[in-house]
Amino acid sequence: MRRNDTVKVSTTRFGELEVNKKDIIKFDEGILGFENLKEFFVVDPGDQTLILWLQSVDDGATAFPIIEPKIFKEDYSISLLPAELNSLKLENLTNASVYTILTIPSDVTLMSANLKAPIIINNDTHKARQIVLQDNKLEVKFEMYAALKKSIVNFHSDDSVRTNVNVSNEPTVVEQSETTNTERTAEA
């Protein structure tokens, strides 16, 4: 990899990371409450929790814990309006990754996921949005610790397919692939 294909990002959580520019995810509108931050990348800390981090390129102190909602809520499904799909250059969600932002308080058993406003990433263009869904049944603070704990015990993943990992104790930057974890789990 050529030097100018990467960018170094100094983070408070993971230290200095070298990120391939093609793995940078662009949010034209930012994330709710962080509209000024437009570029992020996904970090897998390799800690077996299935929780990833959406790390800001521009602010090393800003990182959001994220997870694929299907991991802890198998029946989670979303429906986007045509304008929302178009804004991400998507025809459907087949080539998209869907994540929810987590709130992790000091008592982790009270951890919750924002099912109402997921992060949608176009896996080809790396264009992303946090979209507030119109479905009133979806919760902003869905308590999911017990379901996640159960999923971790039962989860089987081939990490060599999920991420490009160099064997080390350092966190890795996750490359957005065309197939999401949930699709791979369903295939297994």
Predicted structure pTM score:
0.80
* Domain residue ranges of the chain, discontinuous segments joined by +: 3-187
3-187: which CATH topology?
BH3618-like (2.30.290)
Question: What is the reported pLDDT for 155?
Answer: 60
What confidence tens digit (pLDDT) does each residue in 96-133 have? 999 999 999 999 999 999 999 999 999 999 999 999 99
- Residues in CB range of 71: below 8 A, 6 or more apart: 50, 148, 151, 155, 181, 182
